[in-house]
Structure 1
Amino acid sequence: MNAFINHFLFEFRTGIRNKTLLLMNYLFPLGFYAMMGLIMTGINPLFRETMIPAMSIFAVLAATILGLPDPLVTAREAGIFRNYKINGVPALSILVIPAITTIIHSSVVTMIIVTTAPLFFSAPLPVNWFYFIVTFMMTACACAGLSVLIGVISTSSRMTVLWSQLVFIPSMILGGMMLPFSMLPGAISKIALLLPATHAMNAFRGLAQNLTADFNPIGSLIILLAS
């Protein structure tokens, strides 16, 4: 138990002290949020309706898909995980603890977004807080799990970049954050349904924001849970 706690605290502090992880966990998502708030709300005032969910999903994607896989591969290549095992850290916690700490960092960023978006950009708060929290946690867990999978299957740090971008870029374009799902062509919309971000945005719209969902929002939650 002590090994688990020490590993958890180490990973949590690393997420703040490490410059790359600090960028992915906090600076990048918050900087992008500020930029989108200043630009998109002027270009498209309707963006305010989904600004909080969209930026929350972006924070999760940046911290997990972009930030989580590479440290796992780097630690594995450096033999750090082998030292963990020798010192009694369970093999499962080696993968689970970085995912948990990343979710916590994403939660902090989301709280900042939820607090400041109504004040600075007149973005509406979620109508249903229960579904907002549930959807956020399911999204974070699904993306963290996918990130750990990328870290496990990647043979090198270069491969983590390839796999991460293969998920991140389509999620940004097709996930409903920047472009509404209803505007996607038929074939592209089917591809978008493979992305956790699409189901997260649909669940946020239909359940948390009380907006019109593009498809069954409960089904989106089930898919996120299964992921």
Structure 2
Amino acid sequence: MSAFLYGVALQWKLDIRSKSLLITCYVVPLLFFAVMGGIFTSINPEAKYTLIQSMTVLGVSTGALMGLPPSLVEIYASDIKKVYKANGVPLYLGLVSMFLSAFIHLLIMCVIIYLVAPIAFDATPPVSLPLYFGSLAIFTAVSLSIGSILGLAVKSQAKLTMISQVIFLPSIMLSGIMFPVDLLPRIFEIVGKIFPATWGYKLLAGDVFYFGNLWPLVAILLAAAILCGFMLKRLQSE
């Protein structure tokens, strides 16, 4: 257990110095929040009621889909994987330590949005703090699980960037954070329900707990965990 905690702490320190993680988990989400927060509330004053939730969904999706996968490729598609195996280190350690480190960084970014939005844009804070941050933790874990699949499945950084963008862009555009999903064609509304961002936004924006918004995220998380376990076994045998 102590070795595992040491690995997580070490990964945390490495991630703090990582320019890639700094950009995807902090700079891009917070810059978009600073620019679009004013635009959203100026165009539509009602946006202040869901500004925190929408910017949080964007930030988490950016870090999970654009930040985590390249870091995993650096381990599992390089000689670092051989070093793990040669020294008897379980392959899952790299995935779990990066997952937890990214989870913490994304939560910090979300707390910044939560604290700054009411001051900068007169945004309305969520009604229930425990419900909001509980929902945020679940959504963040699900989003990172999708990023983990990408990082384990794709071995080329160039292909990974393209695939990540293919998943990231529609998940944001069809989630409802940019405009109401009711304005979308029916087929796009259905496609949007495939992505965690749609259910995460509904869960975060709700004033009360609704299980109908939670179970799709739980299902995605369980499926992703099983798939990651399968891919780790395949990597172990290579």
TM-score (structure 2 length as normaliser): 0.87
Is 1:206 matched with 2:199? no
Give the aligned CA root-mean-square deviation in angstroms. 1.6
| Residues 76-104 of structure 1 deviation map (CA, whole Å, 9 limit, x = unaligned) | 23311322343443222221111111110
Equivalent in the alignment of 2:228:
none
DSSP 3-state at the match of 1:119: helix
Name the counterpart of 1:27: 27
Report matched runs for 1:109-120 at 5 Å. Answer: 109-120=109-120
Partner of 2:135: 135
Contact 1:63–1:106 at 8 Å: present in 2 too?
A: yes
The offset of 1:6, in angstroms, is 2.7
Contact persistence 2:68–2:147 (CA under 8 A) = yes
Q: Distance in 2 between matches of 1:14 and 1:63?
A: 16
SS of equivalent residue, structure 1 residue 187: helix
Match of 2:61 in 1: 61
Q: Are 2:97 and 1:97 aligned?
A: yes
Aligned position for 1:226:
219
Correspondence 1:156-171 to 2 at 5 A: 156-171=156-171
Partner of 1:213: none
Query: What whole-Å deviation, never above 9, does each CA across 1:41-98 have from its counterpart, x for those lacking one?
Result: 1112121111111111111111110000011112223311322343443222221111
1:196 maps onto 2:202 in alignment: no
Residues 64 and 147 of structure 2 are in contact (CA less than 8 Å); yes or no, is this contact kept in structure 1?
Answer: yes
Measured after TM superposition, the shift of residue 5 of structure 1 is: 2.4
- Residue 179 (1) aligns with residue 179 (2): yes
In the superposition, the TM-score normalised over structure 1's length comes to 0.91
Moved more, 87-96 or 167-176: 87-96
Look up the SS of the partner of 1:42 in the other structure: helix
The answer to whether the 8 A contact 2:126-2:205 is kept is no
Whether the 8 Å CA contact 1:14–1:21 is kept in 2: the answer is: no
SS of the aligned residue for 1:140 comes to: helix
Range with bigger deviation, 107-116 or 78-87: 78-87
In the alignment, the residues of structure 2 paired with residue 87 and residue 26 of structure 1 have an alpha-carbon distance, to the nearest angstrom, of 34
Check the 8 A contact 1:54/1:201 in 2, yes or no: yes
Cα contact 1:15–1:21 (8 A) shared by 2:
yes
1:146-185 CA deviation, whole Å, 9 max, x = no partner? 0010111113111211221111100121111111122221
When structure 1 is superposed on structure 2, of 76-85 and 166-175 the one drifting more is 76-85
SS at match of 1:68: helix
For 2:218, the aligned partner's letter is: L
Q: After the TM superposition, which parts of structure 1 deviate over 6 Å for at least 4 consecutive aligned residues? A: none
For these two proteins, the number of residue pairs brought into alignment is 220
Give ranges in structure 2 of 5+ residues lacking alignment: 221-238
In 2: Cα distance, 1:72 partner to 1:165 partner = 16
One-letter amino acid matched to 2:212:
G
Partner residue in 2 for 1:154: 154
| Per-residue Cα deviation, 1:180-227 (whole angstroms, up to 9, x for no partner) | 12222111100001010001111122246x9xxxxxx42121111221
Give 2:232's aligned residue. none
Question: Is contact 1:3–1:88 with CA below 8 Å preserved after alignment?
Answer: no
SS in 2 for 1:67: helix
Which letter does structure 2 place at the counterpart of 1:136?
L
Instruction: Measure how far apart 1:3 and its partner are.
Output: 3.1
What is the one-letter code of the residue matched to 2:219?
Answer: A
The aligned amino acid for 1:226 is A
Match of 1:126 in 2: 126
Shift of 1:19: 0.9
